[in-house]
Structure formats: structure tokens, C-alpha cells
Amino acid sequence: MDKKKNSKSTKGVMIASVIMVVVILGVIVAGFFVSQPEEFIQGEIEMTDYRLSCKVPSRVKEIRVKEGDFVHKGDTLVIMEAPDIEAKLSQANAAKSAAEAMEDKAMAGARREEIQGASRCGRRQRLVLRLPKRHTTECNASLKME
């Protein structure tokens, strides 16, 4: 009878152990599938120093939040102003306008005044080439005076 009692109690312990292991495994598996609520951290930050960094030298133009405002990831907090970049942009635009004006002038051809001036200069040079050597210096002097 002792053997039967031992055997029954051993079977009972074994069954209880198996049930415990199954329950523990069930709790662990259920823990993986239960979604956790999103963490929400609430707090207050007090600062006297603000450190901002930017890829180009700039200064704060506008602050878009006030003390106590709720902010989210990706919100614009501060607008920065870079006067050096704006100056370089206006300089580049001016250079572009000057280049376009020179292109327009080249495409339009020479003005009548420029053609007349070049023609006069050519006539003077032809005149100088025809004169003998001693008159050349006199002619050059007279051309400079005009």
C-alpha cells in the first residue's frame, strides 16, 4: 500500500509541476502579445541658457514657442536668420543680371557710336602708317590732343 501511496503522490506532484510549467509559459507568451500603452512623460524644464547650433553662422530671428507650450517631435521652435547667406545670394543675383546684360549687348551687336569711333580710330592709324617717320610723332601728338 505504501508503494501505491508513493506512486499516487509522485504522480500528483508530477501533474502539479507540469500544470505550473504550462501556466508560467502561458503567462510569458501572453506577455509578448499584450500591447503596452505608449509612455507619456510629463514634466517641466526650466532653463536660463539656450544653446542652438546651425550649419551656417546665423542668429535667432523668431522664437515660435512660449513658456508652458506643449511641443512635439518635429515642431519648429526657432527661426534662424543668416545675413551672410542673403548677402551672397543678392551678390550672385547681381552678377547674373550683369552677365545677362553683357550677353544681350553681345547678341544685339555694336552700337552705331561704337562703330563710328572704331572707324575714326582706324582711319587715323591708316593715316599714321602713310606718313613719313618724322611726321609720325607730330601726328601721334595731335591724336592725343583730340
Compute how many other C-beta atoms are within 10 angstroms of the C-beta atom of residue 45: 5
- The larger pLDDT score, comparing residue 133 to residue 100, is at 100
pLDDT in tens, 72-95: 888 888 888 888 888 888 999 998
| pTM, rounded to two decimals | 0.34
Residue 19 phi, psi dihedral angles, 5° rounding: -65, -40
The sign one gets for the Cα dihedral 120, 124, 125, 130 is: positive
Contacts by 38-43 with C-beta closer than 8 Å and gap 24+?
none
pLDDT of residue 35: 72
pLDDT in tens, 36-62: 777 777 777 776 777 777 787 888 888
Residue in the block written with cell 546665423: 58
Alpha helices by DSSP H, the chain: 2-33, 83-108, 112-130, 133-145
